[in-house]
Amino acid sequence: MACGVAMVSSAVTVVAVNTLTDRHDSSVLAVGHDNVSGGAVYTVAHGVTPPTDFTHAAESTINGVVSIKSYATPRGYGNGYQSTPFDMFDFFFGSPGNGNRRQQQPERREKSEQQLGLGSGVIISKDGYIVTNNHVIDGAERLEITLNDNRTFNAKVIGTDPSTDVALIKIEADNLPVIPIGDSDALRVGEWVLAVGNPFGFTSTVTTGIVSAKARSISSATNGRAMGIESYIQTDAAVNPGNSGGALVNINGELVGINTAIYSQTGNYAGYSFAIPTSIVTKIVTDIKQYGAVQRAVLGIMFRELTPQLIKELGITAVNDGILVRELVERGSAMEAGIQVDDVIVAIGDTPVHNSAQLQEAVNKYRPGDKVKVKYIRDNKTYTTDVTFRNSQGDTKMTKAKDVTSLGCAFKPLSKEQLKEHQLTSGVQVTGLRDGKFKEAGVKDGFIILDINNARVKSQEDVEKIYESIMKSSDSDKVMFITGIYPTGRKVYYAVDLAD
């Protein structure tokens, strides 16, 4: 067996290796943001022929997968604002461009644009809509898309959902090759699948494997660090840095998942990879296109997966697994439907739920206002009830896409005279107040903002970044806690509710 190896010089991978080898454990890693600087090449002679012909699936899908390069002008990250919830990729790799958002650094500005990373995307419509991972495009100021025929386009971001790590972007082109969307729910463990993407910057690389598991949660592999909504397809198809956002297709060449993460000690493929199923992806993409924002249904319970110990403690004999209700959210969907503490939920609609990953995937298919039958066990008897899903605010309204203009004001930096007068080092002043979130909270024109959510504020850009971070978070409470002063010197605190 011949094997040639080249040293890996990717800055992203180096950070991952150093972080993980110091801890001597395995971790789930993002497979995007592979900085363009080199790669490892392994040549292995295989003597076994796969039992299935993959040529049709490969030939019909490679043209529907694109390469995505992200670019940005490097900036300092000295304002200390909070990262979005899916920045577990920053946790392992550091921020794009070797910046670390959690460490304060000197403010710096550079004019030259630099490449942040490299990932993949899947064409889902002839007129240029492309689905990829949020972490592939996060922080980018420009996205360059390269098709399999080497045509390049700049893309614009249509919408993102950090909670599922899905993003929708678009290029201006016509008659593009499209990968048809398949039914991820119909996938079976042991079924052959292909991963199509651009690992290490190679064009249209295809690898094969089988479905190892469905509805897989991987938080336990990240030391309990939450990865948002997770119910992954686990495969053993080789996926490497640059594959993020690429296609997982079945033997018929149908899209069944978006490749997202790998389980590895080195940052490269080590036997396990994970994909977001199309049952989730199609719902997210539809919401973004139709409403401009993801419509997230909430069941309104706090729960635990049923364990042998809990089964014994509660005297449960009717089932061996399921979702044990531990608390009910006031005015929530479950409470309204009559579900009680210690009930065991075993199905949402036609979908059995044996664990939390299956519950997340099942609920994430619905929108606020949708009605579904929920099957549960109480006192070892089976019941069914109709549940009308609500949103995180406790109603059935659709969420509208919002931006920082909803605050209803502008922000201007303080002059040197103002800084000296108030003995401040930084701050921004509210100006041009009109109807909006700030006015509703009682903020007046001239108010000087010192910090928001414990992050120092130096410019309007800082306010915008904090706002975006809050709105991207999966927290049900989206609030700006603001500390500041009025020109009179009076110190005031405001809580600005950003929810509808």
8 Å CB contact between 129 and 123: yes
Is 354 annotated as catalytic? no
Cα separation values, 230 from 31, 42, 61, 86, 189, Å: 16, 31, 25, 11, 18
8 Å CB contact between 112 and 235: no
Tokens found for residue 375: 């099957």
Is 244 annotated as catalytic? yes
Distance (Å, whole) CA 257 – CA 193: 10
Is 33 annotated as catalytic? no
State which H helix or E strand residue 134 sits in: helix 134-137
Parallel, antiparallel, or unpaired for β 205-216 and 410-413? Answer: unpaired
State which H helix or E strand residue 351 sits in: strand 351-352
8 Å CB contact between 60 and 182: no
8 Å CB contact between 131 and 281: yes
The residue annotated as part of the active site, out of 67, 135, 184, 204, is 135
Q: Is the Cα dihedral 363, 368, 373, 377 positive or negative?
A: positive
Tokens found for residue 397: 């309204």
Complete DSSP assignment for 307-321: -HHHHHHHT--S-SS
Tokens found for residue 439: 């006015």
Tokens found for residue 493: 């605190």
The residue annotated as part of the active site, out of 165, 343, 451, 462, is 165
Number of residues that this document lists for the chain:
500
Q: Which of 313, 335, 312 is nearest to 325 (CA)?
A: 335
Q: Catalytic site residues?
A: 135, 165, 244
